[in-house]
Structure 1
Amino acid sequence: MDFSKLDVYSNTVILDKNGQKIQELNSGQHREVVPLNELPEQLKMAFVVTEDKRFFEHKGVDSKGILRALFKNIESGSNAEGASTITQQLARNVYLSSEKTIERKTKEVVIAAEIERKYTKEQILEMYLNQIYFGSGAYGVQAASIEYFGKEAKDLNIAESALLAGLPKAPSKYSPRNNMELAKERRATVLSLMRKNNIITEAEEIEANSQEIKLPLKKTQKYSVNQSYIDYAIKETVSRYGITMKDLYRGGYKIYTNLDTSIQQAMNQAVENYRFVEDEPDQIVRGRDDIY
């Protein structure tokens, strides 16, 4: 197995001469990494009781869960129950497709067992929380927290934690941006599981269910006034260090530059206020000096 695929990276950022971020390279996946020890306990346990109640007991595959799911599927005559553990979900997200075949499920089980042999439960949970998709282009709890609540994951309360824990099952279906009522219903289900497993009290469950979900405005990606400098920095990084564009955009890098944003801003403003004469085939564009 190529265990390096389990490594989770933030998006690459480009910094100015003072170490301030001037651009984040977007690979199409809004992803930010957060260590497990910085996350609230109720957030972590919300995922465990919802997705894999015996996570800390099994070795990657939950035999009891499989038998329970099999019984329910036979009883209902469908394949509604999947019984995938958190480790199996991590294996599927990183290494496999989502097709429902016996071959894929077998590979999922084998890979999950290998992951369990190499990593601790805490490491697996951290990778899972930073890898899983939450809808609206957000990968990982940090990006999802910012997307749906406009705050960092370390600051999430019980109601917010429950809402996020309910999303991985069907991100598009339960996303509050797509269906607020279904999102609240799913949140209530997670809160009920948290109470039954003594993660929260009945009073906390009632209070969390009463909280309104206020979505922050979606941010749009704007063309940077420093784009020409950024493009040059990217080109030089790829050339100098032999990094492919794909790997660069995959994330995890910090590109330090000598850009002085105050000087750049002044130059941009000067050019913006400057009038240029009409261009001609044999003439380089030049500015007029009679405007000052």
Structure 2
Amino acid sequence: MSHTAHIPSHRKPRRSASRVALRAGVAGGVLSTIAVAGAAGPANAEPVTETIEMPTLTSGLAGSIAQSADATQQVAFTLELRAQEDAAATKAAEIAKKAKAEAQRKAEAKKKAEEAARAEAAATERASRSAARTTLAAVSTSSGSDSGSSSASASVSQATGSAAAVLAFVQAQLGDAYVMGSTGPNAWDCSGLVQAAYRQIGVDLPRVSGDQSTAGTQVSLSNLQPGDILYWGGAGSAYHTGIYVGGGQFIGAQNPSTGVVQKSLDWDPPSGAVRVL
């Protein structure tokens, strides 16, 4: 006996030919019955048809497309409007910048013109004072060092510009009374008269003698010019002031007994002088 005689086989058992023939016969019979039934029906029967209505999707899609188009158009309109606003703002800024530059240019031109006018006026004034002082010096030299009030009057008549105005003012006050603390128009003290004379030409001097003695540039008594302020006492602590009118003469409100007088420097020699003009 072989070793495999008792081991069962794992193969599927073969179907018998009779079972296969039986199943084939049954299937064929069924198919034949269906064929006969079909042939037995009416020859002219119409085929059965049925319409199935599919849901319409285009209406909702069209609405969505329309909304999208509107939104796109609105965005385009907004962007165009913003571009126009930006362009307008840029143009306005350029116009403002040009206007500002033009205003600055005009302001600078005006400033330069004013500075030039002031410089020209100052130069004219300096030339006028220089000419007046030269004329007064010439008159003083030809008239002598102490020729009295007539020499001073000649100096005043020849003077021009601011110095001439100062000298004319103090000469017009000759004979007025001296009153302590008075500033005119018919009575003066020494510093009140000096202050008023310079105020006529737009120069504001301090009120008291001590301050007036340092209000300008200190000058030597040997180099005096008409219009210089003379002072008696120390610079900054002077007790009396007057105005040099040329020809070795000065005018001042001296005291209650003399009033406003014109005298020679030798009559009451001053301590010093300051030049304002």
TM-score for both structures, normalised by structure 1: 0.21
User: More strand per residue: 1 or 2?
Assistant: 2
Structure label with greater radius of gyration = 2
